[in-house]
Amino acid sequence: MFGKKRIAELENKIQNWQAQIAKAEKRARGLINHGKICQQKLGTYFASKLENNANELSVAINRMSIDFYAGWDTKTWQDWQPTVWNSDDFTDGIDTTLPTLIRIGDLVEQRHEFSKIGCKVPAFVPFIGAHKTIIIRTNGSTTGMGAELLQSLLVRSALMLPHQTYYTLLDPATNGLAFPMRRYLPLVRENSGDVRRDLEQVLQDIQRIVQNFIDATYPSFELVDPKVRINERFQFVFAADFPNKYDRRAIELLQHVASTGPKAGVYTFIHYNADHKLPRDINMDGFENAGDINLNDSSTMTACALRLYPDANPHAELQNRLFENLRKAKPPERIVEWDGEVGLSNENWWKSDATHIIQTPIGISGASDVLNLWFGVNNEGMPCAHGMMGAMTGSGKSNLYHVLILGDFRTCRAL
C-alpha cells in the first residue's frame, strides 16, 4: 500500500516537472524568436545612429587644418595654402601651433552591416613633442605600402611645418630613388654617399642644439621660445628600406640619432623591411622610443573593428601644386622695428669715439639681446678690420647696410 502511494507521488512530481519543462521550453522559444526579430532590426537601428555619428564626425574633422586630417584624395587640397608663421601669435614664449600628431591613413569600419555607411576616422601617430621614432614594419606583400607611407609622411611633414624643416634622406639600396620628391623639399642635406657620414653630421647638429638651447628652462627643443629658435629648423631623418645596405656602424648611429635626437628637435622615420636581416647582435629593440606602425597585421586595430588603410604617396600633379605653394610661402621671420630695438635717441647722437672701435646695433640676438656689429679693437683686445656678408636675393643685405651706415654715422664723432 505504501509503495503504491509513493509511486503516485513520484509520478505526480514527474508530471509537474514535465509541465515546467514544457513551459520553460515555450518561453525559451519565444525569447529566441524575439531575439531573432531584434537581431534583424538591430542593424537598421544602429546603422542610423552610426550614420548620424559619421556625419557629425565628418563635419568636425573638416573644421581642422587640411594638412592635419585630410587624405590625399580630398578635393580640399586644391585650395591648400601654407600657414604663416608669425612671432606675434605666441604668448609667454610657447608655440601652440606645432603639430603633436601626424596622419598615417584612415581607420575604416569593417563590420559587414555597417561597412556600407563608409564610417572612417583619420589615423595618427605621435609627432612633435612626443619624442618617438616612427617605425613602419613590413614584409613581403606589404613592403610597397610601407614605402608609400614613408613618402606620404615626408610630404606631409613639410606641409605641416612650412620652412621649418630640414631633411636627411637615407636610401643606400637605391641611391635616392625612394624619395622622388627630394628636389622639391625646402631644405635637404646633401648626401655624401656614406650613410655613416651623413648620420655623423646629424649627430653634430644634435650636439650643437643641445649645447646652445637645451637647459633647465627649455628641456626640449619644441619648448624653446620660437623667437629664440627662429633661425633653427626641426630636422627629420627618413630611412628607406631599412636595413637593406645599412652596415652595422650605420645602424648603430641611426639608433643613436633616434634615441637622442627628439630632445634636440630631430625626429626619425624608418621603413623597416623585415625581408632583410639585421646584422648579428643588433635588433630593433635598439630603437628604444619606437612608435610602431605594423602593416603586416591585417587584423582590425581597435575593439570597434576599425582597420588601418595607410596613406599612399600623393600623385605627381598634386605634389607639384603643393610644393609650388610651399615654395611661395613666406618663411618665418621676426620683424625688428628700428626705433624699438636699433634706433638711438637724439641725445645719444655723436657721443661715441671711433678712435679704437666703431660699433652699432644691427638687430636682436635670441629673445632680447641686442646684436652689435663692430670694427676696430674691442675691450678684450680682439681686432676686426674686415667683414663679408652673403645671403640670398631679397634676404635683406641692402637693408642691413643701411642700418649699419646710419647707426655708425649717428653714434661716432670721428670716422
How confident is the model over 50-73, as pLDDT tens digits?
Answer: 777 777 777 777 777 888 888 998
Asked if 252 and 220 touch (Cβ cutoff 8 Å), the reply is: no
206 and 77 within one domain: yes
Q: What is the pLDDT of residue 113?
A: 54
Phi-psi region of 329 (alpha: psi -120 to 50; beta: other; left: phi over 0): beta
Q: What is the pLDDT of residue 415?
A: 43
Domain count, the chain: 3
Q: How far is CA 17 from the centre of its chain?
A: 70
Does residue 237 lie within any of the structural domains?
yes
Q: What is the pLDDT of residue 343?
A: 64
Asked if 246 and 172 touch (Cβ cutoff 8 Å), the reply is: yes
Does residue 333 lie within any of the structural domains?
no
297 and 220 within one domain: yes
300 and 361 within one domain: no
Which residue shows C-alpha cell 652699432? 360
43 and 130 within one domain: no
Spell out, as residue ranges, where the chain has pLDDT lower than 50. 409, 413-415
Domain final residue pick, 63, 95, 110 = 63
CA distances from 342 to 376, 377, 409 (A): 20, 22, 14
Asked if 90 and 222 touch (Cβ cutoff 8 Å), the reply is: no
386 and 367 within one domain: yes
Q: Which domain holds residue 359?
A: 338-411
348 and 310 within one domain: no
Q: What is the pLDDT of residue 394?
A: 65
Q: What is the pLDDT of residue 116?
A: 60
Grid coordinates of 228: 629664440
Q: What is the pLDDT of residue 88?
A: 63
345 and 235 within one domain: no
pTM higher than 0.85, yes or no? no
127 and 49 within one domain: no
Does residue 23 lie within any of the structural domains?
yes
- Residue 96 CB contacts under 8 Å (≥ 6 apart), including other chains: 90
Grid coordinates of 3: 509503495
Q: What is the pLDDT of residue 245?
A: 96
Q: What is the pLDDT of residue 414?
A: 44
Q: What is the pLDDT of residue 51?
A: 73
Does residue 387 lie within any of the structural domains?
yes
Does residue 24 lie within any of the structural domains?
yes
183 and 323 within one domain: yes
